[in-house]
Each structure stands twice: as structure tokens, then as C-alpha cells.
């Protein structure tokens, strides 16, 4: 089944997404946000969150009027068009070709001999000049048209109009990307050139074209540059804002939006938070709470978040009555309120001791299961001999490793790493940080 399924943020939702986890890709446009994980594409508009359980997603394009999903691999591709306002699947079309480029309204197919252009919704072929068929045109991400380069000449064609030669590049482009209404960025051997929707061409600062996000009218971009992210005005070629750090350009929603990978946070560039919970972590359950998804802790009875902050990002978690231990390159202990109460070096070198397979709390020591043996570590970070201390290896906390996860009747392709089923609700999670709460009448 590949029908979209509606989730929500609110407690009354039958399918409630509490936190999204680390995305494979994320884009924003106007009031919509789309992200991709192993279960498919998630589209968020206002309080509605639609999951499109599409496998092999290759790309997502998002505008005010459409969300375009490209899936598959050569020689068989599928293109789906979704209405972001309603979550409705508008069209689904299959194509056979060597490679494909998808815009908002047109799709360009490379069949080896030449390139052909089709209407993305109807599948009707669009007439294009011989020069475009012999080149590698790209479709606009907003509006209806294509851009191509013939030697050093840049051409643009709006559907129903005559092709126009816009200008000349200083050298053959090594790569280039097209945006709304025929805007484009070209990376040449010694310069980068911006093409605006009005046909003006400007030199611009060096940047990574693989990170480009255009604004809605194609006059501004958000782009990875100089160890951070820059907001660039294409008309003047000037940088309007620049922020250092692990910030991923996402798009424009009342200004530029970035994804802070370290904090698991979607936010305005240099401004306020939009949504958190995009943090990956191992998951552990103890008593009435679950630790890990979104980097924080959750109440199993109410579905409420327990901690304001999101300090969890460990490869392993070991819960206990007073909190949880987090294990990555150090051992960090947090109490039930999320406060840090322990921080000691990890006394295990995987290059010498072997890979850590699991970590458990025995009530007195941390038990590290390695490839060849178990190693015991106290809360001071010291390796201990368990027999000498008369301790037994009886781990505390729930173990879901062998549990078979139930299937969501509405979303059979939803991929999760673990689950916990209660009297009325079921919790589903993955170690990328996603957490879902589902009413049991939706389970099979």
C-alpha cells in the first residue's frame, strides 16, 4: 500500500508523531516542511503530517502548490506529485530512461540519444528545440520551463514561448542547478555565476552548489559556504547573513531556514526555533518512561515529553531507577530530571578490546558486552572484576532486541527498530530518533 497516512503532533491524533528523528534529507518552502527517512517522505503543514511510504526516494521538491517525490533507479523511475495543502496524491507516473531531472511542472528524461521533456502531471510530451534535446536541460523548480547550456551560451525556455539566449558563461560549467522561474547557479572553473529570473547574470561568492536552496521567487539563495551557511542576495551578489557551524540549508519560510545537526533543531538562520526532535539516539525503556527518541525522555502513560532539553545522543543507553547512563566516547550519567550527574572517560578501546555490542546496568556496575568477553565498569570509569566483588550480571531495564514489531495496518512499510505495546497505545521508535504513538485499534 502506498497511500499517504495522516499523522499529527497533538495528543488526540490516532497516529501521533512525537519527534521526527534525524532525516536523510529535509526541505522547506512557504508553510510546508518535508523530510525523508527510511519509511518514506514526511510532509508537514500546520498540524497535519502526511507520511508517503515510498521506498528508494531519490529526491524531494517542495513549492507552495506541490511536493514532488522522485523514486526508483535507472532504468525505471516513478514521479509522484502531492498537494501539500491537503496531502492528496495528485499524480503518479512511471518513466523508463537512463537518468531523470524533475522540476515543479516538467520532467526531463535522458534516454541516451537525446533528452525529452514531459508534463509532470499529465505525461504529455513538451516540445523543445533541438539544441535543448542535444544538451542537458534542467526544469524550473517553480513555474514551467527549462534552462540549458550549449557550449558557453545559456538558454531559457518558458513553455509556450520562444527560447531565449540569456548570456555567456566565462567557461564551461562544471556543475549547475536551476531554481524558480529559470533562476540558476553555475559553477565554472574559476568563478560562480548566478542567473536571475529577469535574465540578469551576476558573479557571486564561492559556495557549494550541492546545498543550494532558492527562495520562492528565485532572487535569493541559502547555501553552504566557508564552514557554515550563507544567505545570498543574487541581484547584488552580496552575502546578507552568514553563520558558522554544522548548519544545513533547508529553504525559506518567512526567511531562511536551516537544520542544526548538532542540536537536532530546525530553525530560522540566526533566529528562533521552528521544531526540535531531529536528534538520533539509542533507545531504552525503564518503568514509566522511554529514553532516547529526539534526544530526550518521554512519559509512557501520557505521551508527554519529560525534559525540556535534549542531551541524549549515545550509541548505548543503560536506564536505572534514578536515571540513565549514556555511552558514546565517554560515560555520562543523567538523573530523572535530565541533569548531568556523571561524566567519566570510557575505559574501553574498541581497537584493542573489540566492538561494543551492548551495554547494561547491573545495579552496581555497567556491563559492556564485547565481541569476545564482557567487561564491567564502575561509576568512576574503572574496569572491575565482577567475581571479586561478588556481583552478578542481572541487567536492569527492558530488552526489546528479540521482540517482533507489530505492523501498522495503515502503514505496512513503516520501518522501526523497536516497540512497546500497552493496553490502549503502542510506541514505535527507531535509533535515528523518531518516536510514534499509535492507538491500538490501528495495529494488526
pLDDT in tens, 231-247: 999 988 888 999 988 89
Compute φ and ψ for 403, nearest 5 degrees: -70, 135
296 within a domain of the structure (yes/no): yes
Using one digit for the tens of pLDDT, what is the confidence trace for 30-78? 889 999 998 899 999 888 899 998 888 999 999 878 899 999 999 999 9
Q: What is the pTM of this model?
A: 0.88
Neighbouring C-beta atoms of residue 149, cutoff 10 Å: 20
Give the count of domains, the chain. Answer: 1
| Residue 294 included in any domain | yes
Q: In sequence order, which residues have a C-beta less than 8 Å from that of residue 316 and are 6 or more positions away? A: 282, 326, 327, 356, 358, 359
In a domain, 194, yes or no: no
**pLDDT, averaged across the chain:** 89
Q: At 379, which CATH number?
A: 2.40.128.630
Sorted by sequence, the CB contacts under 8 Å of residue 56 that are 6+ apart come out as 71, 72, 73
Average pLDDT over residues 152-163: 95
DSSP 132-195: HHTS--EE-SBSSEEEEEETTEEEEEETTS--EEEEE-SS--SEEEE-BTT-EEEE-SS-EEEE
pLDDT of residue 1: 43
Question: Binning pLDDT at 50, 70 and 90, where does residue 402 land?
Answer: very low
Residue 347 lies in a domain: yes
Q: What is d(CA 404, CA 365) in angstroms, rounded to the nearest whole number?
A: 29
Q: Which residues pair with 154 in a beta bridge?
A: 149, 167
pLDDT in tens, 71-109: 999 999 999 999 887 888 899 999 999 999 999 999 999
pLDDT band of 393, cuts 50, 70, 90: very low
Alpha helices (H) along 249-388: 350-353
Residue 328 lies in a domain: yes
DSSP-derived letter for residue 405 is P
Residue 423 lies in a domain: no
379 inside domain: yes
**52 in any annotated domain:** no
Rounded Cα gap, residues 326 and 58, in angstroms: 34
Q: Are 19 and 434 in contact (CB under 8 A)?
A: yes
Q: How many CB atoms lie within 10 A of CB 274?
A: 18
Q: Which stretch, 98-102, 204-208, 223-227, 267-271, has highest mean pLDDT?
A: 98-102
Q: How far apart are CA 273 and CA 264, in angstroms?
A: 11
Helix (H) or strand (E) holding 32: strand 32-37
Q: How far apart are CA 133 and CA 115, in angstroms?
A: 5
Q: Distance between CA atoms of 1 and 52, rounded to whole angstroms?
A: 10
Which domain does 349 fall in, by range? 284-384
Amino acid at each position: 500500500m502506498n497511500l499517504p497516512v495522516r499523522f499529527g503532533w497533538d495528543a488526540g491524533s490516532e497516529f501521533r508523531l512525537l519527534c521526527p528523528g534525524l532525516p536523510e534529507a529535509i526541505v522547506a518552502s512557504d508553510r510546508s516542511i518535508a523530510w525523508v527517512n527510511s519509511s518514506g517522505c514526511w510532509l508537514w503543514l500546520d498540524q497535519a503530517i502526511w507520511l508517503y511510504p515510498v521506498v528508494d526516494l531519490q529526491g524531494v521538491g517542495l513549492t507552495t502548490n506541490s511536493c514532488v517525490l522522485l523514486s526508483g533507479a535507472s532504468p525505471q523511475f516513478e514521479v509522484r506529485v502531492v498537494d501539500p495543502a491537503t496531502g492528496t496524491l495528485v499524480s503518479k507516473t512511471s518513466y523508463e530512461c537512463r537518468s531523470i531531472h524533475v522540476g515543479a511542472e516538467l520532467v526531463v528524461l535522458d534516454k541516451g540519444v537525446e533528452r525529452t521533456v514531459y508534463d509532470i502531471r499529465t505525461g504529455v510530451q513538451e516540445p523543445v528545440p533541438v539544441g535543448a534535446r542535444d544538451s542537458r536541460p534542467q526544469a524550473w523548480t517553480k513555474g514551467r520551463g527549462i534552462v540549458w547550456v550549449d557550449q558557453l551560451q545559456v538558454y531559457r525556455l518558458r513553455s509556450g514561448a520562444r527560447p531565449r539566449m540569456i548570456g555567456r558563461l566565462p567557461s564551461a560549467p562544471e556543475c549547475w542547478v536551476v531554481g524558480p522561474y529559470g533562476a540558476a547557479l553555475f559553477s565554472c572553473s574559476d568563478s560562480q555565476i548566478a542567473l536571475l529570473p529577469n535574465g540578469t547574470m551576476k558573479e557571486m561568492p564561492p559556495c557549494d552548489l550541492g546545498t543550494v536552496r532558492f527562495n520562492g521567487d528565485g532572487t535569493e539563495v541559502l547555501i553552504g559556504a566557508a564552514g557554515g551557511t550563507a544567505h545570498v542576495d543574487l541581484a547584488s551578489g552580496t552575502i546578507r547573513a552568514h553563520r558558522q557551524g554544522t548548519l544545513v540549508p533547508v529553504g525559506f519560510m518567512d526567511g531562511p531556514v536551516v537544520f542544526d545537526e548538532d542540536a537536532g533543531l530546525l530553525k530560522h538562520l540566526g533566529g528562533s526555533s521552528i521544531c526540535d526532535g531531529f536528534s538520533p539516539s539509542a533507545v531504552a525503556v525503564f518503568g514509566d518512561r522511554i529514553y532516547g527518541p529526539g534526544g530526550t525522555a518521554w512519559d509512557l502513560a501520557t505521551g508527554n515529553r519529560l525534559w525540556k532539553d535534549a542531551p541524549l545522543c549515545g550509541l548505548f543507553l543503560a536506564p536505572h531507577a534514578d536515571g540513565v547512563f549514556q555511552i558514546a566516547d565517554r560515560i555520562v550519567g543523567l538523573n530523572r530530571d535530565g541533569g548531568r550527574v556523571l561524566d567519566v572517560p570510557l575505559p574501553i578501546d574498541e581497537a584493542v578490546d573489540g566492538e561494543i555490542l551492548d551495554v547494561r546496568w547491573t545495579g552496581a556496575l555497567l556491563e559492556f558486552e564485547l565481541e569476545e568477553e564482557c567487561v564491567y565498569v564502575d561509576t568512576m570509569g574503572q574496569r572491575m572484576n565482577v567475581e571479586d566483588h561478588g556481583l552478578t550480571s542481572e541487567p536492569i531495564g527492558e530488552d526489546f532486541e528479540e521482540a517482533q514489531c507489530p505492523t501498522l495496518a495503515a502503514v505496512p512499510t513503516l520501518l522501526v527498530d523497536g516497540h512497546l505495546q500497552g493496553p490502549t497505545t503502542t510506541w514505535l521508535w527507531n535509533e535515528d530518533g523518531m518516536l510514534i504513538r499509535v492507538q491500538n485499534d490501528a495495529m494488526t
